[in-house]
Amino acid sequence: MLVPGAPLGHSVPGAPLGHSVPGAPHVYIVATGGTIAMQLDPEQGGALPALNGMGLIAAIPKIEHIAQLSVSEFSNIPSEHMTPEFWIRLAAHLLSIIKMEPVDGIVITHGTDTMEETAFFLDLTITGAVPIVLTGAQRPASAPDADGPGNLRDAIRIAADPQSRGRGVMIAMHGEIHTARAATKASTEELDAFDSRGGTDLGYVENGEIHFTNEALPRRHLPLPEHLPRVDIIPMYAGADDAALQAALARGSVGLVIEGVGAGNVNQALFGAIRGALRQGIAVVISTRVPHGLVRPLYVYSGGGVSLRNAGAIMAGDLTPQKARVLLMLALAARKTGAALRELFEDNSA
């Protein structure tokens, strides 16, 4: 039987691991689901949620020599089923662990498809030095060459390492360490699934050793709200009109993230709709569909970055549309407006 939060090898009857090394760091595993916890169902022809947190740990030999582990079975869902409400509950759960438990690090097992959004939300809302590491898998646990056990082992090592303290929320996959802000999923199936925007990872794991090769950028912090306002992402593409934008407003959006092209540009039809939204008091942030580079006001034509910023839109800097949405939701929940709102996105010093 799984006892949430119980140290492995001690108070969990039948726990697969032996006693931890005395004095070993205490790492809390919070299982939320994802491919790492799935097994192939031959009858249905695909993978489904199957393993709990204890099952994930059982697949890692001699893990008790790295850290004393506790497991919390928070959920077992694919990351496509994550919602803003889920982020709030997960953040509150982590804060309760940090407050009530003598914990040296936290590892969250999570599906890879929306992992970067969850990681960034947690990085924005959880303060303190305790390292939080998200990890997952590209192959289900039933695959003969499953990558989940290795990724989880690395994540535990990172969370247990004293040099991880103060670096914020991280993603660990395929031996690479990424900051929550820079991490983005870059491959649908390759084991090396994540890249860091800007091309520079935070560090790596090699032969069980943690190597940090770069410093994490200063972090922004916003209060954890009870609810998040609706913010939608509106794509720009050749021939786009205002249909998606108007539909978002009709459904109650109070903020919009525009997935522009290039350094943050749109066509005339979308530009007109954006100006109309701004006149209604809707916050508009301009990001880009381009994988690398910053969003900056470069062009003065109608719909170019200069005209968008002059109309009142905010440039997202290095944030992807998904992460710009996370930050905008939290900022609006904290009642950020005007210069204070713009500074959250356009001040790259923090």
Which of 346, 337, 280, 335 lies closest to 309 in space, CA to CA? 346
> Is 118 designated active site?
no
Q: Both tokens of residue 286? A: 């301009």
Q: How far is the C-alpha of 56 from the C-alpha of 169, rounded, in Å?
A: 21
Rg value, the chain, Cα: 21
User: Using alpha carbons only, what angle is made at residue 122 by residues 199 and 84, rounded to the nearest 5 degrees?
Assistant: 110
Contact residues for 86 (Cβ-Cβ < 8 A; gap 6+)? 75
Q: How far is the C-alpha of 172 from the C-alpha of 178, rounded, in Å?
A: 6
User: Using alpha carbons only, what angle is made at residue 225 by residues 167 and 328, rounded to the nearest 5 degrees?
Assistant: 70
Secondary structure (DSSP) of 32-94 = EESGGGEEEETTTTEEEE---HHHHHHTSTTGGGT-EEEEEEEEEE-GGG--HHHHHHHHHHH
Residues 68 and 20: beta-carbon distance below 8 Å = yes
Task: State which amino acid sits at residue 124.
Answer: L
SS3 256: strand
**Helix residue ranges, H only, the chain:** 53-58, 84-100, 115-125, 148-160, 243-250, 268-279, 305-311, 321-333, 338-346
Exactly one of 32, 35, 179, 288 is catalytic; name it: 35
Q: Which residues of 152-181 are buried (b: 16+ CB within 10 A; e: fewer)?
A: bbbbbbbbbbeebeebbbbbbbbbbbbbbb
Task: State which amino acid sits at residue 156.
Answer: I
Active site residue ranges: 35
